[in-house]
A and B are shown apart, each in its own frame.
Chain A
Amino acid sequence: MNAGYNFAYLDEQTKRMIRRAILKGVAIPGHQVPFGSREMPLPYGWGTGGIQVTASVLGPDDVLKVIDQGADDTTNAVSIRRFFGRTAGVRTTTRTQEATIIQTRHRIPEAKLREDQIIVYQVPQPEPMVRLEPSRAETKRMHALAEYGLMHVKLYEDITRYGHFATSYDYPVMVNGRYLMAPSPIPAFDNPKLHRMPALQLFGAGREKRIYAVPPYTDVRSLDFEDHAFQPRRAPHACALCGSRSSYLDEVVTDDRGTRMFVCSDTDYCAERVAEGQKEAAE
């Protein structure tokens, strides 16, 4: 552990300030709470919001898992895991089941999360309406009035132009029937997992200086229309490694003639299924 720095890098006053923002976020599900985001030793846009949230809820007995694109061994996940290894000395794992805190970028694990787990999302852009209305002063007013017509019009225009919704990630959701929320750039495939999840879900946007939360078992609905229901999508293939037909898949180019293979994006889920398969085959 690094001498000269507090446990998990942030000083205790800062952690307290962040915990207050988290509590407020839990009390008002889906509402963006401004917080005094600190300048971290990692760049903005590379997970500083998630790191600050994780640092504030992390205790010495926690077991931390960090994933990026669903994988534990992508470079930025490795870097963030090392950061907490160095500054907090906590136990880290790649096993979803073993983790008490999971920090993630762009995915929700395939395995169902439990009540005793916290999932922390890294959020590049907390404002779901940013592409429709760039002014933060204006979107703040729209949230206060629950004035979300703009977003419905956008979805309607998608349907008239393309016949279906054209947003495939960071698909906007309504939380607890009140606040429109950006679920972070997870694929729309993952959206149903947000709904009534037993684990506490925390969202940290460091550069934009916002924290928000979805408490356990909260209703989270992907925006849609009665006659055009939201549909999660995945590549129509089976995983080349574990054979899963229900997991989210990465498309991997294997040569320069356009050959593709599809494999699970959640590396832990895939590895466990492969191990189980081998066990069964051996028996």
Chain B
Amino acid sequence: MAYVAVKGGERAIAAAHAWLASARRGEPSVPLLQPAQIEQQLGRAVDRVMGEGSLYDRELAALAIQQAQGDLIEAAFLLRAYRTTLPRFLHTEPVETAEMLVLRRISAIFKDLPGGQVLGPTYDYTHRLLDFGQEETPPPPHEAPAEPAPVPPVFGILGREDLVEPDPPRTEEAPGDLTREPLAFPAARDVRLQALARGDEGFLLAMGYSTQRGWGGTHPFVGELRVGEAEVVVTPPELGFPISIGDLVLTECQMVNQFGGSKQAPPQFTRGYGLCFGHAERRAMGMSLVDRAMRAEELGEAVGAPAQNVEFVLYHSDNVEATGFVEHLKLPHYVDFQSELETVRRMRRDAQAAQQQEAAE
């Protein structure tokens, strides 16, 4: 019988996965990569996977990266599928990033400012030359790195003149969570920021970039970019008072944007906000550009560019959703294709018949 192409699916899947395991292991004479090495030496990959996976756990993220052969979207997917099975006890108090112990903090809008410009461990100003002879143990830094310390935020300084829009008022309301409740429009800013914080880094980067090239310009300056450790505090209802449950490394970016004023707001500097897990400056900066672009309607600006379209941004920022749907095109579609074949054949018959009739007339 010729028609055996679809038989044996179960055996084929098992064989394919065995092959995958062997390909993932690579040449057996090369030592097996340990998740601890990934966690220690591929820290930026771990940070990205924690961000897009929406789960702060360096060890699990490292394991996911190993299991996914370094495919970071696949790793984020692994982490999310695990995260969704975890019980949710409560949400934390707002993280006080103003009090974070800063490893790096720069501001592009002042030459110097209280707390100083702290470059920290950065790729900025490195020359991108491949390093062919990397040393097993690099020499210690010339000066011992300063102990992380709290640094006053730029906006505390600017805020006194009322030139910058203030923080939105704090509410006691529970924050929205789009992993539990489906998106609805208009989407509140907490949900928008959650979507961006776990959005695809490439998407955030491209959308942010598009605003710089005139597609919804926001005239941005980096008001402050800070990376450091922030304390996480919860108030369990059975205790009734706040307790610290640990520290997270976070990257926060506050863009300031020139704004001419509108019916809704006076001329002042507005802000776009970015906050994400780990050391992830590109993500935090892209996020803050897109956050500000999405506030166009609220601020009475014309809405036209893709980055200003909240529905467009929120529905397309998630790379686990996007990769699933794009890659599902690999699944069999032959039934639908068959129905299209019949339709196209009929259209061609009709078109030919019409032509012949025309020629005959």
Cβ A209 vs Cβ B325 within 8 A:
no
How many Å lie between the Cα of A187 and that of B336 in the bound state? 6
Cβ A75 vs Cβ B182 within 8 A:
no
Cβ A136 vs Cβ B339 within 8 A:
no
B42 at interface (Cβ–Cβ under 8 A)?
no
A185 at interface (Cβ–Cβ under 8 A)?
yes
A34 at interface (Cβ–Cβ under 8 A)?
yes
How many Å lie between the Cα of A11 and that of B7 in the bound state? 34
Cβ A69 vs Cβ B339 within 8 A:
no
Binds A, one of B28-36, B43-51, B96-104, B343-351: B343-351
Chain A residues with CB under 8 Å of B10's CB are 73, 78, 82
Cβ A250 vs Cβ B335 within 8 A:
yes
Cβ A207 vs Cβ B324 within 8 A:
yes
Tell me the residues in window 158-212 of chain A with beta carbons closer than 8 Å to chain B beta carbons. Answer: 162-164, 166, 168-170, 185-189, 207, 209-210
Q: Knowing A168-B342, A207-B325, say if A39 contacts B332 (CB, 8 Å).
A: no
Classify the secondary structure of B's interface with A. Answer: helix
B212 at interface (Cβ–Cβ under 8 A)?
no
B179 at interface (Cβ–Cβ under 8 A)?
yes
Cβ B339 vs Cβ A168 within 8 A:
yes
A258 at interface (Cβ–Cβ under 8 A)?
no
Cβ B183 vs Cβ A43 within 8 A:
no
Per-residue 0/1 for B328-361: is the Cβ within 8 Å of any A Cβ (1 yes, 0 no)? Answer: 1001111110111111001100100000000000
Q: Which residue of B lies closest to A105 (CB)?
A: B331
How many Å lie between the Cα of A44 and that of B331 in the bound state? 12
B9 partner, pick from A48, A75, A252, beta carbons under 8 A: A75
A43 partner, pick from B13, B77, B84, B339, beta carbons under 8 A: B77
Q: Knowing A34-B184, A41-B81, A135-B311, say if A252 contacts B335 (CB, 8 Å).
A: no
A265 at interface (Cβ–Cβ under 8 A)?
yes
Shortest Cβ distance from residue A160 to the other chain B in the assembled complex, whole angstroms: 13
Per-residue 0/1 for B210-222: is the Cβ within 8 Å of any A Cβ (1 yes, 0 no)? Answer: 0000000000000
Classify the secondary structure of A's interface with B. Answer: loop
Cβ B332 vs Cβ A74 within 8 A:
yes
Q: Which residue of A lies closest to B11 (CB)?
A: A78
Chain B residues with CB under 8 Å of A44's CB are 320-321, 324-325, 328
Per-residue 0/1 for B148-189: is the Cβ within 8 Å of any A Cβ (1 yes, 0 no)? Answer: 000000000000000000000000000000011111111000
Shortest Cβ distance from residue B221 to the other chain A in the assembled complex, whole angstroms: 32
How many Å lie between the Cα of A34 and that of B311 in the bound state? 16
Chain A residues with CB under 8 Å of B350's CB are 162-163
How many Å lie between the Cα of A82 and that of B11 in the bound state? 12
The 7 closest A-B pairs by CB, nearest first: A44-B324, A45-B328, A43-B324, A168-B339, A209-B182, A45-B325, A187-B339
14 A/B residue pairs, CB under 8 Å, sorted by A: A11-B87, A36-B179, A39-B83, A43-B320, A43-B324, A73-B6, A73-B7, A75-B12, A106-B335, A107-B335, A189-B339, A210-B182, A250-B338, A252-B2
**Interface set of B (CB-CB < 8 Å, partner A):** 2-3, 5-10, 12-13, 77, 80-81, 83-85, 87, 179-186, 311, 315, 320-321, 323-328, 331-336, 338-343, 346-347, 350
**Interface set of A (CB-CB < 8 Å, partner B):** 5, 11, 34-41, 43-46, 48, 68-71, 73-79, 82, 105-107, 124, 135-137, 162-164, 166, 168-170, 185-189, 207, 209-210, 233-235, 240-241, 248-252, 254, 261, 263, 265
